[in-house]
Structures are given as structure tokens and as C-alpha cells.
Structure 1
Amino acid sequence: MPSESAHKIHICRTVSLPDPVKLTRYLKVPEFGPRILFFSGGTALNPLSRALVRYTHNSIHLVTPFDSGGSSAKLRNTFKMPAVGDMRSRLMALADQSVKGNPEIYNLFAYRLPKDEDREKLKSILMRMADGHHPLVRSIHDPMRKIVCSYITAFARKMPEDFDLRGASMGNLILAAGYFSHNRHIDPVIFLFSKLAEVRGMVRPIMNKYLHLVSRLENGEILLGQHELTGKETPAIESPVQEIYLSSSLKKPAPIYPRLKEKVRRLIQDAELICYPMGSFYSSLMANLLPRDAGSAIARNECPKIYIPNTGHDPEEKGTNLRQRVEILLYYLHQSAGKKHKDSQLLNFVLLDKDHELYKGGVDVSGIERLGVKVIEAPLVDPENRPFLNADFLLERLLSMV
């Protein structure tokens, strides 16, 4: 414990990228690895997360709960709750899948009910799981099996008669049941979920609220819901994004500016490195920065802040180049802060592959650095998986900055 007279001082230092000594230390004792915080959502960060657990068990993942597409949208719309699919996906990416973990729990949480069975058959499968008779549940040892069964039973009781179970993720259903059981609070069930699946990191929603992502395009079109923006379930947007905001209603989609909870602000302020990673530019990254106080919490933390742009195609980035995307990132960070901060308090570095052809719209290094942001170029893509970033190449640079 620090003494009462302990105080903080600011130290500047030079680091090597990569730093083999640091990396060896983290690999040897990941339990004491660094607190790297990621603002993200979706699945783009999952490959990196699976590699990350070899280096640190202390990473922090703030995930958007505004997803309005896919199977988690059924839960979100039926129960007026935050979307849990991206949280479940990240928890699974961080779970210990070795013999030291709980593979039986992992297998259940990763299981999806069949898409081609009728309603009665799907209900029968769910009730077999609730009773502990389904092979996936029967393989789990007590007392974990009893806990899992109690949550599945709770969901079955809460589920409307006409709820569509086709393709439903069991992990999502269990998270939803925990949300109900804990008076519509998601953190307690995520904590339990993390313990059961031996998750090597912390996953939290940026907000525990049922809110909607609204997008206004430059052509005046208004898109209601995250799924309308991503180009996955609907056609890709035909006009660049002008702005995004949160709304409590889709009938009257007026902007609202909810505040972060104090515990989320503390997570941001205590991180040893803050990363704005690859992923859907607006719906995964910018959406996380919409709540008030996110920017001010970032500004109060003097750790390095780094942006990792997408390689390849992201339909949400239509009409922008990399310098413009850096400017957009800074815009939303400042908007969230609510008061004046220096750009350097919000963003310090952009980490790029040396092959600039990977980046949509081109790369203007001097233009980015005129914004006060240092560009770091390194080999991040291997030829076999081009244009996707190699998780190990990327982590070697990120971890060396802590």
C-alpha cells in the first residue's frame, strides 16, 4: 500500500518498438500484464483479443451495447435491454480455452440453437438445457451446472410465447437472464460469466442503457439503428456520414447526451494505454465515445493514446481519407469531453502498416502529424492474411509502449 505522502510525478521516456525484454516479461507472467484499454465493439478485435491473453490478463474492453442487428437484436427489442452479443463475443475471445479453463462452459456459451427447427423443437432443446439433461449442460461440473441451469430456467420463464429462438446464442440468453435476475444490471452477470468461463480480461458495456444509434448522412438521410449503418444486413450507405448520436427513441430520434458511470470513468483513468482500435469506424469506435465524460476521463489519464486504423474496406468510412478519420476521432473525443482539452491529451499516435495502399483514401503522413499526432509505421500485415493485421505483429508494438 502506498504511504499517505505518496504522490504522482510525470516521467518522459523513450521506448523500443518492439521491446523484446518487456514482451518476454509479459509472456512469462501475464497475470501481472499491463492494463490496456480498448474502445470497441463487434468482432474485429476478437483475433487480437485471443492473442492478447498470452501477454496480459488485465486488458479492459469497453464495448458498445447499441447493436440493433443479428440475434442479439431479438433480445434487445423484446426486453428493451442493452445488446449483449458483442459483449458475449469478446468474453469468449478472452476466455481461457486451454485445459486450465472451463471448456464445457465455453462450449455452452458459444452454442447456437438450430436455425432450421420449429418453435416447439427449439423450446424442447432449451428446456432440456434448463433441466440439465442436454449433453452440453450435463458435461458441466457442479456447482457451475446448477448456476447455469438456474439462468436458463429464468430465461425460459421470462421468454414470451412467440419469442424466436432460431439461431439464438446460449451465451446471449444466459447474459439476458442474468440481466433480469440482477434488477436490469449487466455488470453482475458479466462478472459471473467471466468467472465461469475463466475470462482473462475485463469486458464492460460503455453504458447500461437501452439506447439507439442514429446516423445522419451528408445527403440528409437519417438511419435509425446501428444495423442500418454497418452495411451487413442492409445495403452499404450511399453518402458519407455527417454525424452520429444516441437517442432514447426511434420515433422521435432527438440527440441525448448520457453520462458515463463513475466506475467506467475510473477504468479509463486507470488504464496504462488507451487504444482506439480497428473495427467499424462509427458503429464500433465513435459510438463508444458518444457518452459525456468519456473524453474528459481520457484527457485526465496521461498514458499513451493510440489509434489503429482499419486496413481494407469499411463501408462506414465512405468519402474519407485517413487524415479526415483522425480529425473525426478528435472531434468526437472533444465533444465527449465537454470542455477544452489539447489534442495531445486525447490522441498521441497513429499506428500504420508501411504499405499505405492498405488504407482507404490514402495516407497523408505530414497532414496527420500537423494535427499533433505522431505516425508510427511498422510491418503489421503478413502476406498470407493481407489486408488483415497480424495480431502478434500489432501486439508487439502496443505492449512495448506500456
Structure 2
Amino acid sequence: MKRIVLFSGGSACRSINVALCRSGADVTRVVPAWDSGGSSKVIRERLPILSVGDIRQALMTMAHGEGCAGDVVKICNARLSANLGFDDARKEFLFYAEGRHPLLERMEPGLRGAILNYLNTFAASVGRDFDFRHGSVGNFILTGACVAHNGDVNTAIFVFRKLCGIGGNVWPSSCDNDLVLSATLRDGRRLAPQDVITSMGAEDAKVGIADVELAGAGQNPPVANPAVLDAIARADLIAFGPGSLFTSILPHLLVADIVSAIAKANCPKVFIGNILQCRETMGLTLEDVLAAADLHVRKGGGTSNLFTFVLANRMLFPFEKTVGTFPYLRENRQEKNGRHIVKGEFEDAWSRGQHDGDAIAAALLKIASGDASDA
């Protein structure tokens, strides 16, 4: 059983995570803790807690890959209505928190009691004026568990996994609860926090991102999660991507000790290239993306060429082609800088612009086994 560590955001590597689980790999997902949008934003504005949205998404992906589709997973994957009034949204939350949902009613008492305890801990912590609209029930449970365990997110994740029957691990790269991501554009302007960067307009996207910074209150550097450092030390392969380059992938490299731990790990380190450009990478080639990765490796205290393998989607046409508004990410065929470029038809045949999880998983497992002969 190969131990694979995936540094990613919450959703972009979903198909790869699922395929690796179904292949029998021992998967650890490492996800961001600096999300400042969506349901996580409302919770972070109310409580001194790190973002749980990407953690919960990754846990639900892990559950799907492992074939866990029980009542607890269904509850944790539920979301409250977005089109209700404030009071009606609270009533919908209480339908869960008071145990009146049919899935909760039929659970064995221990599971039901634990979930209700965490939901009610959450409700007591956020107060009666909290806006529950469009909130994730899983986020509420995970946050309630974190509060109940004195803010220890690793313990909360462990309990959440046990409730759902999930075997794989999901950890934030840092347990710091006050991290803020900021980006410097090529014209010197700064954008912050994370949700402002991801929603930047088309003109800012044309200017492009030069680099990103990740810091807590008082500009303190983020501290690495010990569970992540342990997973890195035991890994048979470490992979970064796919996902939003500057907001989901590269900031992991800025967490103290992450780069040095990866450099020391005696295993292949793989960068998974995106299929398409996105708003954060408009006009960039794969080599530009790798140059940005090298820059942030150096900012994280390492040297270039941390990644020994690169998975690159093979281009099947000699002209620019788009999916929606975004072109495919292309190579510009410059020096490989000592990296082993593994080219393959990695695009999903049924979802244009997305990765074929089975193809990527097969390539990763082949590299982990020491065989990249067809690269």
C-alpha cells in the first residue's frame, strides 16, 4: 500500500483522491486553512477558528473514494437552503440540531448523540444572531467538534473521521487559526484576503500575480501542523496540485518547515500541472507555473527543483483552444531544469478541462513504484 500525500485545495483533486482510494493507496490530503469565503467566512468572522471548508470537502471526497455513504456522511454532506429568510434558516438548522431529521432519528444513540452535541456546541458558540443560510451542516459539526475539544482541529478531524468511518487522513498544513493570504500583482498592488484574490476582475487577471504571502496576526509566519510533517516523513510520494495555483497550492510552501520536510523526504516529489489556465494563471505556460513554484519554494527556505517529476497534459492540437473562457495550459518547451516531465492524456474524456483521476492516479502510483519508463 503506497502512502501518497496530496497538497491541494478543497475540490480540484477530487477525482484523483477518489481514484487513489479505490486503487488501495493510503492517502493523506493536506488542505488550506486560510479560506476567507463562503460558509467558512461567516464562521471565521464569528469564532477564532481556522477555515474548515476545505477540510470538510476533502473529508467528504475521502468518504466517497472509500465507499462510505452511510447516514452520517449524508448528514455531513448536507447544506442548508440559501433562499430562506433569517428565521426560517435557523429553524432548518434546528431540524438537524434537535435530532428531528429522519437520518438522525434512525442512527444508533452514540452516533446521534455525538453529532447533536457538536451541532449544539456550535449553536451556543455563534449565538442567536448567526446567519445559517446556505451553511454546510458538515462545517457546523466540524467547527462544533473543534470548539468542544478546546480548539484542537486535529482532534476534531479525528473525531469527524471516526463518526463517518473514514480511513484516510485530511490535515490543514497549519493549525494556526488567524492566517491571511495576500497576493502582490505584477504592478505592485496587493490583494487580500483569499476570497478577494480568487474573485479578482479580468483586468487584474491580465496584470497577473507576482507572488503570495501567508501570515498570521502580527505578520507571524505560519507554523506547520505536526501531523503533516509526520505524513511527509512517511510518504512514498508527495504531490502538489492540481488546483488554484496562487491561492490553494503555492501557499502550502510558505508554512514553516514544510519545504525542508519535503526536501528531506526520501521519495518522489510530483507537481501536477493543471489542464486549463485559470484567472490566477492567465497567459502563463507550464514552465511559468513551475517558475512560480520555484520562487515560493525559495521563499519557504528551500532551493529550486524541489519537484523531481511533473505531470503534463499532452496537447493534441497545434492551435490555442479554450474550454469556456479559459485556454489550455501549454508548455513552451524550454529547459526541463532536471525535472522528469511525464506527458500523458490526462484530461477527462467526459469532463473537458478536468483531470482524469484514474490516469493521474495510475501515473502517481507508477512513479511511487520507481517506474516512469514511458515518460
By the TM > 0.5 criterion, same fold? yes
Instruction: Identify if the C-alpha distance between structure 1 residues 361 and 189 changes in structure 2 by more than 3 Å, giving closer, same or farther.
Output: closer
Distance 1:111 1:192 in 2: 18
Counterpart among 284, 297, 301 of residue 265 in structure 2: 301
Distance 1:361 1:203 in 2: 28
Counterpart among 300, 313, 327 of residue 277 in structure 2: 313
Counterpart among 336, 339, 346 of residue 373 in structure 1: 339
Counterpart among 59, 65, 76 of residue 44 in structure 2: 76
Give the CA deviation at 1:95: 0.5
Instruction: In structure 2, give the amino acid aligned to 1:246.
Output: L
Distance 1:112 1:261 in 2: 28
Matched residue, 2:360? 394
Deviation track 1:361-390 (CA, whole Å, cap 9, x = no partner) reads 6313342x1x11111112212443322221
Q: Would the aligned equivalents of 2:216 and 2:222 in 1 still touch at CA under 8 Å?
A: no
Give the CA deviation at 1:205: 0.5
Matched residue, 1:221? 189
Instruction: Identify if the C-alpha distance between structure 1 residues 384 and 123 changes in structure 2 by more than 3 Å, giving closer, same or farther.
Output: closer
Q: Which runs of 4+ in 1 moved over 3 A?
A: 356-361
Instruction: In structure 2, give the amino acid aligned to 1:401.
Output: I
TM-score (norm 1): 0.83
* Structure 2 residue 95 is matched with structure 1 residue 135: no
Instruction: Identify if the C-alpha distance between structure 1 residues 55 and 258 changes in structure 2 by more than 3 Å, giving closer, same or farther.
Output: same
The aligned length equals 357
Give the CA deviation at 1:348: 0.4
Instruction: In structure 2, give the amino acid aligned to 1:264.
Output: V
Matched residue, 1:354? 314
Distance 2:274 2:329 in 1: 11
Q: Would the aligned equivalents of 2:30 and 2:171 in 1 still touch at CA under 8 Å?
A: yes
Q: Would the aligned equivalents of 1:60 and 1:201 in 2 still touch at CA under 8 Å?
A: yes
Q: CA RMSD in A?
A: 2.0
TM-score (norm 2): 0.89
Percentage of pairs with the same residue: 28
Residue ranges of structure 2 left out of the alignment (5+ in a row): 322-326, 369-375
How do residues 95-174 of structure 1 correspond to structure 2 at under 5 angstroms?
A: 95-96=63-64, 101=68, 103-174=70-141
How do residues 322-361 of structure 1 correspond to structure 2 at under 5 angstroms?
A: 322-336=286-300, 338=301, 341=303, 343-344=304-305, 346-355=306-315, 360=328
Q: Would the aligned equivalents of 1:365 and 1:375 in 2 still touch at CA under 8 Å?
A: no
Instruction: In structure 2, give the amino acid aligned to 1:393.
Output: A
Q: Would the aligned equivalents of 1:278 and 1:309 in 2 still touch at CA under 8 Å?
A: yes
Q: Would the aligned equivalents of 1:97 and 1:103 in 2 still touch at CA under 8 Å?
A: no
Residue ranges of structure 1 left out of the alignment (5+ in a row): 1-32
Instruction: In structure 2, give the amino acid aligned to 1:298.
Output: I
Counterpart among 58, 82, 106 of residue 26 in structure 2: 58
Distance 1:217 1:187 in 2: 34
Deviation track 1:313-369 (CA, whole Å, cap 9, x = no partner) reads 311113422112112112212321x25x4x45x2101111221667756313342x1
